[in-house]
Amino acid sequence: MNLTPSPFATPFPKLPEVKGVRAATGSRGFYAKRGVTRDDVFLFAFDEGTTCAGVYTISRTASADVLWCRQALQTGGGVARALVANSGNSNAFTGPKGQEKNEATLKAMTETLGVAKEHCYLAATGVIGEPLADPNYVGAFVPDLAAKLGPPDWEAATRAFMTTDTFAKGAGMSMDIDGHDVNFAGIVKGSGMIAPNMATMLAYIFTDAAIAHDVLQELLEDITNETFNAITVDGDTSTSDTLMVFATGQSGMDPITSKDDPRLDAVAMALHSVCLELAQLVVKDGEGAQKFVTIQIDGAVSPMSAKIIACEIANSPLIKTAMAAGDANWGRIVMAVGKSLEPIDATKLAIWFDDVQVAVNGARKPDYSEKAASAVFAQPEFTIRVDVGAGEHSATVWTCDLTHGYVDINGAYRT
Amino acid sequence: MNLTPSPFATPFPKLPEVKGVRAATGSRGFYAKRGVTRDDVFLFAFDEGTTCAGVYTISRTASADVLWCRQALQTGGGVARALVANSGNSNAFTGPKGQEKNEATLKAMTETLGVAKEHCYLAATGVIGEPLADPNYVGAFVPDLAAKLGPPDWEAATRAFMTTDTFAKGAGMSMDIDGHDVNFAGIVKGSGMIAPNMATMLAYIFTDAAIAHDVLQELLEDITNETFNAITVDGDTSTSDTLMVFATGQSGMDPITSKDDPRLDAVAMALHSVCLELAQLVVKDGEGAQKFVTIQIDGAVSPMSAKIIACEIANSPLIKTAMAAGDANWGRIVMAVGKSLEPIDATKLAIWFDDVQVAVNGARKPDYSEKAASAVFAQPEFTIRVDVGAGEHSATVWTCDLTHGYVDINGAYRT
Pairwise CA distance, residues A319 & A382, whole Å: 14
E strand segments, B319-407: 350-353, 356-360, 363-364, 381-387, 393-400
| B208, pLDDT greater than 80 | yes
Q: Which residues contact A214 (CB under 8 A, 6 or more apart)?
A: A78
Pairwise CA distance, residues A272 & B335, whole Å: 28
Please report the pLDDT score of residue A200 as a whole number: 47
Partners of residue A349 in chain B, C-beta under 8 Å: 61, 93
Structural element, H or E, at residue A171: strand A169-177
Catalytic residues of A: 200
Write out the residue limits of the CATH 3.60.70.12 domain(s) in chain B: 21-284
B131, A363 in Cβ contact below 8 A?
Answer: yes
| A271, pLDDT greater than 90 | yes
Across the range A271-276, mean pLDDT stands at 94
Confirm whether B200 is a catalytic residue: yes
| B386, pLDDT greater than 70 | yes
Shortest distance, CA B327 to any CA of chain A (angstroms): 6
Write out the residue limits of the CATH 3.10.20.340 domain(s) in chain B: 292-412
| B381, pLDDT greater than 70 | yes
Q: Which residues contact B240 (CB under 8 A, 6 or more apart)?
A: B57, B62, B63, B65, B66, B90, B92, B123, B124, B125, B201, B202
Q: Which residues contact A156 (CB under 8 A, 6 or more apart)?
A: A25, A39
Partners of residue B344 in chain A, C-beta under 8 Å: 60-61
- Which residues on neighbouring strands pair with residue A357, listed in sequence order? A352
- Which residues on neighbouring strands pair with residue A395, listed in sequence order? A297
Closest-approach residue (CA) in chain A for B409: A321
A293, A405 in Cβ contact below 8 A?
Answer: no
Across the range B362-373, mean pLDDT stands at 91
Please report the pLDDT score of residue A247 as a whole number: 96
Pairwise CA distance, residues B386 & B306, whole Å: 10
Q: Which residues contact B174 (CB under 8 A, 6 or more apart)?
A: B16, B181, B182, B183, B184
- Sign, CA torsion B209/B210/B211/B216: positive
Task: State the pLDDT confidence band at B155, using cuts at 50, 70 and 90.
Answer: very high
**B21-284 in CATH: which number?**
3.60.70.12
End-to-end Cα spacing for chain B: 7
A10 secondary structure, DSSP code: -
B145, B109 in Cβ contact below 8 A?
Answer: no
| B243, pLDDT greater than 70 | yes
Across the range A144-163, mean pLDDT stands at 96
Q: Name the percent of chain B lying above pLDDT 70.
A: 95
What are A389-401's pLDDT values in tens digits?
A: 999 999 999 999 9
Which residue did the predictor score with more confidence, A131 or A251? A251
Task: State the pLDDT confidence band at A2, using cuts at 50, 70 and 90.
Answer: low
Pairwise CA distance, residues A174 & A208, whole Å: 10
What are B260-296's pLDDT values in tens digits?
A: 999 999 999 999 999 999 999 988 988 888 999 999 9
Q: Which of B259, B326, B265 is nearest to B291 (CA)?
A: B326
Please report the pLDDT score of residue B400 as a whole number: 93
Q: Which of the following is catalytic: B51, B57, B158, B200?
A: B200
Please report the pLDDT score of residue A412 as a whole number: 62
Partners of residue B346 in chain A, C-beta under 8 Å: 60-61, 93
Mean pLDDT of chain A: 91
Across the range B309-321, mean pLDDT stands at 91
B213, B220 in Cβ contact below 8 A?
Answer: no
Q: Is A410 close to B318, i.e. CB distance below 8 A?
A: yes
| A196, pLDDT greater than 80 | no
Across the range A84-106, mean pLDDT stands at 91
Across the range A73-96, mean pLDDT stands at 92
| B118, pLDDT greater than 50 | yes
B347, B361 in Cβ contact below 8 A?
Answer: yes
Please report the pLDDT score of residue B194 as a whole number: 59
| B412, pLDDT greater than 80 | no
Partners of residue B343 in chain A, C-beta under 8 Å: 60
Task: State the pLDDT confidence band at B199, using cuts at 50, 70 and 90.
Answer: very low
Of B318, B362, B414, the CB nearest to A193: B318
Of A315, A327, A411, the CB nearest to B321: A411
Picking from A402-411, B77-86, B159-168, which range would have the lowest pLDDT averaged per residue?
Answer: A402-411
Mutate to test the interface with B, among A1, A57, A61, A287 (most CBs of B within 10 A): A61
Grouping H, G, I as helix, E, B as strand and the rest as coil, residue B333 is helix
- Which residues on neighbouring strands pair with residue A203, listed in sequence order? A188, A243
Mean pLDDT of chain B: 91
Most confident residue range from A288-292, B194-198, B199-203: A288-292
Burial class, B42, CB count within 10 angstroms (exposed 0-12 / middle 13-18 / buried 19+): buried
In CATH, the architecture of A292-412 is: Roll (3.10)
Enumerate the H helices of B50-149 as residue ranges: 64-75, 95-113, 142-146
Q: Is B59 close to A94, i.e. CB distance below 8 A?
A: no
Task: State the pLDDT confidence band at B130, using cuts at 50, 70 and 90.
Answer: confident
Chain A to chain B, count of Cβ pairs less than 8 Å apart? Answer: 221
**Count of CB atoms situated within 10 Å of the CB of B106:** 21
Please report the pLDDT score of residue B263 as a whole number: 95
| A191, pLDDT greater than 80 | no
What are B10-64's pLDDT values in tens digits?
A: 999 999 999 999 999 999 999 987 889 999 999 999 999 999 999 998 888 888 9
The alpha carbon of B310 is separated from its chain's Cα centroid by a whole number of angstroms, namely 18
Q: Is A327 close to B359, i.e. CB distance below 8 A?
A: no
| A251, pLDDT greater than 70 | yes
Shortest distance, CA B136 to any CA of chain A (angstroms): 19
| B415, pLDDT greater than 70 | no
Please report the pLDDT score of residue A192 as a whole number: 64
Please report the pLDDT score of residue A199 as a whole number: 39
Tell whether residue A410 is among the known ligand binding residues. yes
Which residue did the predictor score with more confidence, A327 or A235? A327
Task: State the pLDDT confidence band at B197, using cuts at 50, 70 and 90.
Answer: very low
Q: Name the percent of chain A lying above pLDDT 70.
A: 95
Please report the pLDDT score of residue A193 as a whole number: 60
